[in-house]
Chain A
Amino acid sequence: MAAADILAVRDLAVAFASDAGLAQVLDRVNLTIRRGEVMGLVGESGCGKSTLARAVLGVLPENAARIGGGRVMFDGEDLLRIGPEEMSDRVRGRRITFIPQDPYGSFNPLFSVGDQVMEIMRWKSKRRPEGERGYPRARRAADRAEAIELLRQVQIPEPEAALSKLPHEFSGGQRQRLMIAMALLPQPDLIIADEPTTALDVTIQAQILRLLRKLVKGRGISVLFTTHDMGTAHEICDRITVLYAGQEMETAPVDAFFVRPAHQYTARLLDSLPNPDREIREIGGEIPRLIDPPQGCRFHPRCAAATDICRSQRPDERAVAAGHVVRCHHPHEGARHAA
Chain B
Amino acid sequence: MPTVAGLVAIVFVVSHIIPSDPAALVAGEAATPEQIAAVRKKLGFDQPMHVQLGAYFWKLMQGDMGNSLFTTRPVWDDLSGRLPATIELTLAAMAVSTLVGVPLGVVAALRRNTWLDHAVRVITVGGLAVASFWLAILLQLLFSMELGWAPLNARLQGFPPPAVTGLLTIDALIAGNLGVLGKALAHLALPTITLAVPGLATLVRFTRAGVLDVLQSGFVQYQRAMGIPWRVIVWKYVLRNALVSTVTQIGLLFGILLAGAVVVETVFDWPGIGNYAFNAIFSSDYNAIVGFTLWAGTVFILVNLLVDLAHSAIDPREARS
Contact = CB atoms under 8 A, between A and B. Distances in A.
Interface of A: 54, 57, 59, 87-89, 91-94, 97-98, 100, 102, 104-112, 119-120, 123-124, 166, 168, 182, 192
B228 A108 contact: no
Interface stretch (B83-91, B149-157, B218-226, B257-265): B218-226
Contact of B226 (A54, A98, A108): A98
Nearest to A119: B228
Nearest to B225: A98
B125 to A, nearest CB: 24
A88 B223 CA distance: 10
Nearest to B222: A106
Residue of A88, A92, A108, A123 ringed by the most chain B CB atoms within 10 A: A108
Contact of B227 (A89, A106, A112): A89
A88 B230 contact: yes
B113 to A, nearest CB: 9
B179 interface: no
Contact of A120 (B219, B228, B237, B315): B228
B19 interface: no
B225 A59 contact: yes
Interface residues of B, number: 23
B121 interface: no
Nearest to B220: A108
A110 B315 CA distance: 5
Contacts of A107: 219, 222
Residue of B219, B226, B241, B315 ringed by the most chain A CB atoms within 10 A: B226
Contacts of B314: 110
A100 B218 contact: yes
B229 A123 contact: yes
Contacts of B224: 59, 88, 92
B203 to A, nearest CB: 20
B219 A108 contact: yes
A157 to B, nearest CB: 19
B228 to A, nearest CB: 6
A182 B224 CA distance: 14
23 contacts: A59-B225, A87-B227, A91-B227, A93-B226, A93-B228, A94-B227, A97-B226, A98-B225, A100-B218, A100-B225, A102-B218, A104-B218, A105-B219, A106-B218, A108-B237, A109-B241, A110-B314, A110-B317, A112-B316, A119-B223, A120-B226, A120-B228, A123-B227
Nearest to A94: B227
A106 B226 CA distance: 11
A182 B241 contact: no
Contacts of A109: 219, 241, 317
Contact of A100 (B221, B230, B316): B221
Contacts of B62: none
A59 to B, nearest CB: 5
A186 to B, nearest CB: 8
What are the 5 A-B residue pairs with the smallest beta carbon separation, nearest first? A92-B227, A105-B218, A93-B227, A93-B226, A98-B225
B231 to A, nearest CB: 11
Contacts of B315: 110
A168 B316 CA distance: 11
A102 B223 CA distance: 13
Contacts of A119: 223, 228, 232
A81 B172 CA distance: 58
B240 interface: yes
Given A93-B225, A166-B316, 12 more contacts: A57-B225, A59-B221, A88-B224, A92-B226, A100-B221, A102-B218, A105-B219, A109-B241, A110-B316, A119-B232, A124-B227, A168-B317
Contacts of A88: 224, 227, 229-230
A152 B221 CA distance: 26
A98 B223 CA distance: 9
Interface in B274-321: 314-317, 320
Nearest to B240: A110
Contact of B229 (A89, A97, A168): A89
B3 interface: no
Interface in B164-212: none
Residue of B222, B237, B315 ringed by the most chain A CB atoms within 10 A: B222
A140 to B, nearest CB: 16
A123 B316 contact: no
Contacts of A123: 227-229, 232
B229 to A, nearest CB: 7
A109 B316 CA distance: 9
Contacts of B228: 93, 119-120, 123
Contacts of B225: 54, 57, 59, 92-93, 98, 100, 192
